[in-house]
Structure 1
Amino acid sequence: MYSALQMNPQADLRTTVFVGNVAVFCTEAEINQLFSTCGEVLEIRLAKSDDFSKHLSYGFVKFSTVAGAQLAMQRLNGAVLCGRTLK
């Protein structure tokens, strides 16, 4: 048995969006609330500090469809979340 990523590694790249300049106090729930306006969010991964006490102001949002990821890139690049402009 293979995961979808093993069968088609490019599929994961097309449905995953990099999110930069995330406020360190911003929660996954707040990120999900914003990004789910563009499509179904499957996963949010925030880069963590070495001691896992906080995230490092960037992460990745994985959508269920390529269309959702593309819409997020169009609509949310430059959006303000938790007082910071997303990149």
Structure 2
Amino acid sequence: MTQPGGATARARERASRRAAMLGPAKLVEPAHRGPDGAPWLGPGQVYVTRTGVAFHRTWCAAVASRWAALPSSLLVTTEDAVGLRHPCSDCATA
């Protein structure tokens, strides 16, 4: 029998290990902030999360969802500092 919260703790641990393999996201200040505080990208900047495996070149559905759920988890870095993260497929079609 699993203790309450056990599955969540294991998921956090897996996400942490995966993030370590992706490389650290070298955070930068966004070019601007919207009226709601949302970061707006400048040239060469992308959105990432600490544990996400993708980076985002635009404000796609995944970025909007992350901002709505937990704004502090949406980070800005430069495209050359994304490590092993891959481009978001939704951003590529936007």
Q: Tell me, yes or no, whether TM beats 0.5.
A: no
Q: Report the TM-score, using the length of structure 2 for normalisation.
A: 0.24
Q: Report the TM-score, using the length of structure 1 for normalisation.
A: 0.25
Greater relative contact order (Cα < 8 A, sep 6+): 1
